[in-house]
Amino acid sequence: MTEPLATEVRIGPNKQVILHFAIKLENGDLVDGNFDKAPATFTVGDGNLLPGFEAALFGFKAGDKRSLRIEPASGFGQPNEQNVQIMPRSQFEGMDLAAGLMVIFSDAANAELPGVVQSFDETQVTVDFNHPLAGKTLTFDVEIIEVKAL
C-alpha cells in the first residue's frame, strides 16, 4: 500500500518562503539578487517584498523556477512629478555636486530619504525623490527552495 501524497504547501497568506531571486532591468542588468549567496527568507505580508512581487509568487511551491515580468504598477510604481523638488543651492554647501549623485536627506520623522541630483546651477538644485526603479518594467527570476505554513 502506498502512502498518500502530502499536499504541497503553496505560497500564499500565512506562509514562510525561502527562495533565490534576481531582479533585472529589461536590458538584463542585475539590480538585486542572491543566486550566488544564501537564499532569502520572508513571510508573506511582512513587508520584505513589495506586494506586487509577492502576489506574483502566489501558488508556487518548492522546486518551482520562474521568470516573471513585473510591470511598474506592480513594482515600484510610476514616477511622480511632485517627487522632483527644486532646492536652494545653499543647502548643498561644500558638496561636489554632479548629475546622478545620490544625496540622503532626513524627513520630518527623521527617516532617511534618498534623492538623486538631476541638475543644478549657481542658485538651485533639482532633486528627484522617486524610487530609481519607478517606471521600470522588471524581470523577477525566482527559485522556490521551501514553503512552510505558519
Tell me: domain 81-128, CATH 1.10.3720.10, correct?
no
pLDDT score at 4: 44
pLDDT score at 7: 61
H and E: helices and strands count for the chain: 1, 9
Q: Give the pLDDT mean for 70-92.
A: 96
Whole-angstrom distance, CA of residue 67 vs CA of residue 111: 34
Whole-angstrom distance, CA of residue 125 vs CA of residue 99: 10
Q: Given a cut of 50, is residue 120 above it in pLDDT?
A: yes
Q: Given a cut of 70, is residue 5 above it in pLDDT?
A: no
Q: Given a cut of 80, is residue 62 above it in pLDDT?
A: yes
Query: Hey, which residues does 119 pair with through a beta bridge?
Result: 126
pLDDT score at 108: 82
Tell me: domain 15-76+135-149, CATH 2.60.40.10, correct?
no
Whole-angstrom distance, CA of residue 40 vs CA of residue 34: 7
Give domain limits for the chain. Answer: 15-76+135-149, 81-128
